[in-house]
Each structure stands twice: as C-alpha cells, then as structure tokens.
Amino acid sequence: MTRLLLIRHAQAAPAGDLRLPGPDLPLLPVGVWQAGRLAARIEAFGPLAVYTSDAVRARQTGEIIAAARGIPARTTPALREIDLGEWGGQTYEEITAADPAAAAWFAHPEAMAPPGGEHAQDAANRVLGQLQMLSDGHGDCVAVVAHAGSLRLAVAHALGMPLASYWRLRLDCAALSVLDWTADGPLLERWNDTNHLEGIAP
C-alpha cells in the first residue's frame, strides 16, 4: 500500500475571491503561514517524497513542506489545475452573463469542455494517472500538492462517482486529504482536514 497525502495549495487569493482559477498567483503571507502549519502536521506521516504542480502557488507550498523534511520538491505539469480556457479568472456570474448556456457546464462538467479549455474527464485522467504512477514508484508515503478542481475530479473518478459530483467535495486551501492506494484500488481515508490551521492566522 502507498499512502498519498493529497494537499491543496495554501492560500494565494484573498478570502471571498470567487474567480475561477486563471492567473498563476504566488502565496499570500497567510498562505506561507498555512504551508508551515501543514508541514508540521504531516511530519508524523513521514512522506518520503513531495510532488507538486508547476503552478507557483502549489510549488511554493510544496517547497515549504519539502524543506521541513529535508528533501527536494519535484514539480510536474500533470498535477496542474483543470484548464478552464476563456473562463479562467472570471466569476460564475460573469461567465453566465456573457453566455447563459455556460451554466450547463457547471451542472454537467463531463458533457463538454470550457471554450479553449480542458475536458473534465481529461483532467481527472491526467491527475489520476500521476497518482497511480506515484503509488507504483515510491515507498510508503508521498505528499502531493495540487489544486482543488483537479484533485476533486481525480478523487471522484477514482471512487467511481459521477464527475458532476465533484462540486460536492469541498477542498479548502492547505487542507490535508489521505488516499491509500491498495492492491484493491484507492481508499479515501481522510478528506479536507484543516485541524492544523486552527488558531489565529497572521
């Protein structure tokens, strides 16, 4: 069995920012604090490797975790967020005001790809394929730092859920989830754990 620590990157946008992923933002100061708390939290799991998306916010989160472990953080584009194409950086209201038909994608993301973007199934397959590779190529525990959309899609697909249900899987910044990859397939042991963020953030 390989234990995958699935981590959403720490906070890079102000609280309440409802824009869809688009610009490649660095961590906010509170995000750096979150990543430090997360690094301390997962020390007990003893990850032997840290892999991150190549987005700045994920890479910075992973580097803080890896530095605490004394190991390098390795980046891979396979862990990127789902590419929302022309919708990236816009809010739901802005998107549907410009094109009311776009609301269908939010209800059924498996039905089509956003204009100029990536199909949800392709994003799920991309991330899940990387998780499978990491489960085959490492020891007991690997930390994976990626994004809310692509991680939720991958986990929904791995558990046999309809991709449209991925909206129902809340995943907060710097949250820890644990996916055990067993001989019988993936087993979700923990989801959206943010206990390490309790207390007063700067």
Q: Does 81 score more than 90 pLDDT? A: yes
User: Domains in the chain and their CATH numbers?
Assistant: 2-197 (3.40.50.1240)
pLDDT tens, 84-143? 999 999 999 999 999 998 999 988 998 899 999 999 999 999 999 999 999 986 668 999
| pLDDT band for position 68 (cuts 50, 70, 90) | very high
| pLDDT band for position 22 (cuts 50, 70, 90) | confident
DSSP character string of 108-163:
-TTS-PPTTS--HHHHHHHHHHHHHHHHHHS-SEEEEEE-HHHHHHHHHHHTT--G
User: Using the 8-state DSSP alphabet, how is residue 69 labeled?
Assistant: H
pTM to 2 decimal places: 0.94
Direct distance between the N- and C-terminal alpha carbons of the chain, in angstroms, rounded to an integer: 38
CA 35, 40, 44, 47 torsion-angle sign: positive
Q: What are phi and psi of 192, to 5 degrees?
A: 55, 45
Contact 4, 32 (CB under 8 A): no
Beta-bridged to residue 179, according to DSSP, are 4, 188
Q: Does 74 score more than 70 pLDDT? A: yes
pLDDT > 70: percent of the chain = 97
Task: Calculate the average pLDDT of the chain.
Answer: 94
Contact 152, 166 (CB under 8 A): yes
pLDDT tens, 133-177? 999 866 689 999 999 999 999 999 999 999 989 989 999 999 999
